[in-house]
Amino acid sequence: MGAALLKDADIKRWCDNLSEGSPRTADVYLAWLQHFADFTKASPTDSVLRFKSGDSGKKEVQDSISDFIHHLLTKGFAPKSLNGALSAVRSWFRWNECLVTRQIKIRGLKTTPTIEDERLPTRQELNQALNFGDLRQKIAIGTIAFAGLRFDSTAKLHLKDLLDVRIENNRVIVDNQYTRLRVVVVASKNKRPYFVFSPAQLTDWVRQYLESRARDGEQLGPESSLLVTSQRHFSHGRFVEKGQPLSRQAVAKEVRLAFKASGQKFRPYVMKSYFSMALQSAGLTFDKVEFYLGHVGPMSLNYGMRKELPKEKVEELRTEFVQKVEPVLTGAPQLMLATDVRKRTALDILELLESVGLASEATLRPFRERLEEIAPEEVEAVMEEFRERMAVSDKDWLDTQKGLKDTTKILPPGFFQPVENRTMPLQEPRRVTQVVVSMKQAERLIPKGYTYVGPLNGKAVLKVPEGSTEPVVGGI
């Protein structure tokens, strides 16, 4: 709304000046100025000329401003909306060196009637909306509820801002499922760059969505927008072509549509509060919460000045996000990272050697204690020392490392698969509560009482029903 006003050179100049401070403010103020022009049945420029015509003209214009605000009040606009309309009109007159001196009171400006009884959605309610949404709607919700982005920041995300996702020959390559989402200066409310981590579930939706766009013939590249229109349509007095970036309003609409389809009524704006509450529930320090929310704080100042945090610090933050934040956000099971797997695998090797009688508990104890204390990168040196102590030949050790299919070897087949995908227990069978299976297996298991939890690397995570004895590969 307000695009027609931009044909006036002075209005366009005023709007461009506002955009230098905040494009969002420029759009909102332009819309309110259009409302004011419609109410007075006079162009904003004519109102300025009337204001400058003399005392009677000045009084007439200020009367019209007061009447305009009262008109909006009778239409049910909230106090903060009324204040925004008044600020927009005053800004236009001030730009034209017309000072609106009348004090127009707005009752209840500090109240928030729209959100008086508002609450945050539970994780189950959020999942219900996600289940009803398509991929684009899932990503719109996920970037806000799971990554804390504002609508404007989501709308301005490009593929180059997905720092651990690459496009090669129009193929989507995910280097890390917990990718960083970079919010650049123009998309940041406080004009400082920052980044957040994407949960594995959100990254998987992004991958599927981008792959579907590539299959439709779109040539993806670093400058491609993350969320785009799926077809040509008419919006706000103009045609929007297919493949155009979603606007801030369109992102909010995607969130609203998903909740509406699930039979729920939540304002899209509460999604960011859901993320904020999850960060606090996960026990993160105040400066980290402020950083992930895009607020000014010690970490954001450091990141803004240095442009990039050290790689070690990024990985430390990523590990903390996976282990503490993601389970609170999405309810995803806590999976071991690669560094944890190396240490856990080494400890399991020692345990297995003891169980088959190839090493005594007394011999293994000092190695176990050292493995518990050392950093993951030191595991290899400790295990090499253990191999020399046990006098294991190079060939047998190599066979052990590869986890050969010959069951007479020290390790069972599949031992060196990731811990969460092992096909057999190391000691006594344990109670499996969740499994990772193919989508085809999921279709067979869900009718038998298994519950769908979410996607993981192209597969499905299912919750195992109580009392189930059916063996399923992929227990977590």
Q: pLDDT digit string (tens) for 379-403?
A: 667 777 776 666 655 555 555 444 4
List the end-to-end C-alpha distance of the chain, in Å, as a whole number.
53
Q: Which residues pair with 165 in a beta bridge?
A: 174
pLDDT of residue 286: 81
pLDDT of residue 41: 92
Rounded mean pLDDT, 78-91: 90
Contacts of residue 421, Cβ cutoff 8 Å, sequence gap at least 6: 436, 473, 474
Q: Which residues pair with 460 in a beta bridge?
A: 437, 455
* Whole-number Cα distances in Å, 20 to 14, 27, 89, 186: 10, 12, 18, 10
pLDDT band at residue 329 under the 50/70/90 scheme: confident
Rounded mean pLDDT, 288-310: 62
CB 84 within 8 A of CB 91: no
What letters, b where the CB count within 10 A reaches 16 and e where it falls short, cover 371-388?
A: beeeebeebeebbeebbe
Lowest mean pLDDT among 9-18, 244-253, 347-356, 421-430: 421-430
Assess whether pLDDT exceeds 80 at residue 348.
no
Helix (H, G, I), strand (E, B) or coil at 244: coil
The token duo for 254 is 């995607």
pLDDT band at residue 184 under the 50/70/90 scheme: low
What structural domains does the chain harbor?
3-115 (no CATH), 123-330 (1.10.443.10), 338-418 (no CATH), 431-476 (no CATH)
pLDDT of residue 462: 77
Q: Which residues pair with 434 in a beta bridge?
A: 463
How do residues 234-268 score in pLDDT, each as one tens digit? 655 566 678 888 888 889 989 999 988 888 888 88
pLDDT band at residue 458 under the 50/70/90 scheme: low
Higher pLDDT, 467 or 287: 287
* Whole-number Cα distances in Å, 204 to 132, 176, 212, 255: 17, 11, 12, 18
Higher pLDDT, 115 or 201: 201
Higher pLDDT, 369 or 94: 94
Rounded mean pLDDT, 458-475: 62
pLDDT band at residue 86 under the 50/70/90 scheme: very high
How confident is the prediction for the chain on average, in pLDDT? 76
Q: CA 164, CA 176: separation in Å to the nearest integer?
A: 6
